[in-house]
Amino acid sequence: MSSRRDFMGMALGGFTALGGIGALMAMKKTWDPLPSVKAAGFTTIDLKDAQENVLVTEKWRGKPIFVLKQSKEMVEKAKKSDELKRLINIGDEYYMVAVGLCTHLGCIPGYDSSKQGFLCACHGGQYDGTAMVTKAPPPRGLDIPPFKIDGTKLVLGEEGPEYKKMLADGTTMKV
């Protein structure tokens, strides 16, 4: 008699658990970003008109993208500190392109062109002209978005060979 009750209890419990897990999965999926949100993930920017040491802010996936054309002096500085690898080289010019969100907690750092560096007002983090971190708390330089070079244009969201190389040697991480 008791074994029959046990069986019914376990059967009921088992099917309830199964339904519960199914419901949880549905709830998880409901909270996922919508396909339309994920699909709108590509932006093309033109670097032709960028001016040296003037910060331009573009937008990609709702996030600000910093574009900073490097002056000769800035390129020299980057060579010395071994940060040339962070820059995108097109012809003779070097560009810093990065997601403009502090790698600490995602505030937007401000650019000071006289100091050629970024300061994040939230928690005092600092970055140099190649967006490499120079003062904590940020754990690393600004992340570089996936890009593909197309003449003087960059397609953000697509992974070109130059970007894959940056990923491979640890210059940036996946955003």
Partner 1 sequence: MAHFEKAKSLNEWLDQRIGINTLKKVMQSEYWIPKNINFLWAMGMVLAATFGILLVSGIFLLMYYNPSTDLAFDSVNYTIMTEVGYGWLWRHIHGVGASLVFLIIYIHMFTGIYYGSYKKGRELIWISGMLLFVLFSAEAFSGYMLPWGQMSYWAGMVITNLFSGGSLHADGLVEWIRGDYVPAQAFLSRFFMLHVLLMPLAIIGAIVFHFGTLRLPHVNNQDGKEIDFEESARLWKEGTTESRRKSEVIPFSPVFLSKDVFVMGVYFILFFYLVFYHFEFAMDPVNFDPANGLKTPTHIYPEWYFLWSYEILRPFPTDPGLVAFAIAQVIFFTLPFLDMSPNVAPANKRGAFHIWFWLMLIDMLVLTFMGKLPPEGIWSTIGLVAAITFFVLWISLPIITKLEKKL
Q: Is 167 in the site for partner 1 (CB under 8 A)?
A: no
Nearest in space to 66 (alpha carbons), one of 90, 98, 43, 44: 98
Q: Is 57 in the site for partner 1 (CB under 8 A)?
A: yes
Residue from 4, 5, 26, 31 touching partner 1 (CB under 8 A): that is 31
Residue from 81, 121, 151, 164 touching partner 1 (CB under 8 A): that is 121
Question: Rounded to whole angstroms, what are the CA distances from 27 to 16, 20, 33, 36, 38?
Answer: 16, 10, 12, 19, 19
Could you tell me the smallest distance in angstroms from the CB atom of residue 173 to partner 1?
7
Residue from 34, 80, 114, 169 touching partner 1 (CB under 8 A): that is 34
Question: Rounded to whole angstroms, what are the CA distances from 61 to 31, 44, 173?
Answer: 18, 12, 17
x-or-dash string of contact with partner 1, 5-24, rule CB under 8 A:
--------------------
Could you tell me the smallest distance in angstroms from the CB atom of residue 80 to partner 1?
25
Task: Return the residues of window 78-117 that contact partner 1 according to CB under 8 A.
Answer: 103-110
DSSP E strands, 48-146: 55-60, 63-69, 88-90, 93-99, 110-112, 117-119, 126-128, 133-135
Q: Is 28 left (phi over 0), alpha (psi -120 to 50) or beta?
A: alpha
Could you tell me the smallest distance in angstroms from the CB atom of residue 27 to partner 1?
11
Can you read off the two tokens belonging to residue 146? 């996936």
Residue from 14, 19, 20, 124 touching partner 1 (CB under 8 A): that is 124
Q: Which residues bind partner 1 (CB under 8 A)?
A: 28, 31-34, 37, 41, 57, 59, 61-64, 103-110, 120-124, 136-139, 173, 175
